[in-house]
């Protein structure tokens, strides 16, 4: 509830002690997952997720919550930002104008589909907008940023909560199932990166799913996903203008989410620096290792936070809404992949 306020008021060492139990829990799960993967084969990201789910009962433990939240939200941002040293601007040519257009279409069409489905299901336009934006752009962080631009009402809070719970569940399911689909239909590295980066909701799950397949797919998917994340800026700016009057009249004063996430800026900066060949190979290797560990720990935290019981409490209509949006963007991206094959 007011735990974040308490954390900010604590001196550094006391704050670290507060974060330590949850951080150690997620780190031990990550180390265990890496050990199993190294000795018995298989993807450490999937192991981290599954082992984390087994420890879900600790997600409500007051001592563990701060560290779990830090692992799930902040470490993934650091991990993704550091991935920038592995990518150069020239890699964008792999997406091409058609790829960039397809990703823009994925975002805009999913938001439109969300609004349409919300209307057909008799749900609020706000829920359709929040869920469509979250599925289309970058999951829960997009939902929070969009929510901050809408009128700050009880309905907004309720819709944001429903979206966050649903996104966490469906994004985790996509992270497990989509790599299997990629293998089943035999997508190439570029196709797999475009599909995973263009269809999975949260950045963490995109990275987890893609790196389960290979580092090359991970890089391609990250690039596609980060372009979708960048779409948050124009979408939020349009919504801020569209709902400006309503938001101002509804009770301002609340702190708004930043339009451009700092980890996206850091990722872009590292891509630019690497494009000029300014990052030594040794630094690239170290950054990649740090990034990998941050991401595994973050995936472990997401596993700990995953609750299948909470999905049942949503009611069937919001579940149908989020499921239909998830299927819509996945089918859209698969169509793009197969259309691209035809014209190659």
- Per-residue pLDDT tens for 93-102? 667 788 889 9
Q: pLDDT per residue over 47-95, tens digit each?
A: 888 898 889 889 889 999 999 988 887 887 788 788 778 766 666 666 7
pLDDT digits (tens, 9 = 90+) for 236-271: 778 777 765 554 454 444 455 455 567 767 877 887
What b/e readout covers 140-162, taking b as 16+ CB neighbours within 10 angstroms?
bbbbbbbbbbbbbeeebeebbeb
Taking all residues of the chain, what is their mean pLDDT, rounded to a whole number? 81
CA distance 77 to 192: 22
What pLDDT is stored for residue 314 in this prediction? 63
8 Å CB contact between 261 and 228: no
Low-confidence ranges of the chain (pLDDT < 50): 1-7, 247-248, 250-254, 257
């Amino acid at each position: 509830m007011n735990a974040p306020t308490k954390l900010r008021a604590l001196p550094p060492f006391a704050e670290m002690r507060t974060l330590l139990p949850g951080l150690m829990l997620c780190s031990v799960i990550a180390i265990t997952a890496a050990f199993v993967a190294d000795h018995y084969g298989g993807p450490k990201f999937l192991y981290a997720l599954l082992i984390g789910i087994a420890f879900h009962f600790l997600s409500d433990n007051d001592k563990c919550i701060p560290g779990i939240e830090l692992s799930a939200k902040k470490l993934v941002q650091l991990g993704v930002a550091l991935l920038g040293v592995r990518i150069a601007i020239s890699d964008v040519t792999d997406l091409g104008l058609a790829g960039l257009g397809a990703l823009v279409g994925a975002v805009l069409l999913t938001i439109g589909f969300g609004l349409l489905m919300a209307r057909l299901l008799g749900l609020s336009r706000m829920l359709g907008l929040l869920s469509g934006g979250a599925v289309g752009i970058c999951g829960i962080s997009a939902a929070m940023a969009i929510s901050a631009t809408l009128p700050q009402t009880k309905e907004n809070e309720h819709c944001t909560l429903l979206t966050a719970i649903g996104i966490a569940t469906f994004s985790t399911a996509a992270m497990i199932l989509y790599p299997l689909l990629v293998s089943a239909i035999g997508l190439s590295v570029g196709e797999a990166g475009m599909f995973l980066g263009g269809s999975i909701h949260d950045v963490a799950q995109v990275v987890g799913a893609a790196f389960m397949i290979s580092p090359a797919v991970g890089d391609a998917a990250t690039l596609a996903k980060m372009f979708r994340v960048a779409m948050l800026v124009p979408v939020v700016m349009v919504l801020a203008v569209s709902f400006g009057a309503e938001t101002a009249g509804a009770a301002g004063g609340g702190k708004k989410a930043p339009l451009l996430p700092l980890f996206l800026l850091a990722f872009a900066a590292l891509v630019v620096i690497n494009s000029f060949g300014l990052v030594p190979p040794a630094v690239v290797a170290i950054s990649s290792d740090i990034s990998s560990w941050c991401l595994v720990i973050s995936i472990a935290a997401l596993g700990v936070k995953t609750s299948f019981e909470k999905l049942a409490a949503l009611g069937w209509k919001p579940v149908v809404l989020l499921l239909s949006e998830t299927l819509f963007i996945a089918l859209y991206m698969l169509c793009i992949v197969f259309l691209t094959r035809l014209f190659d």
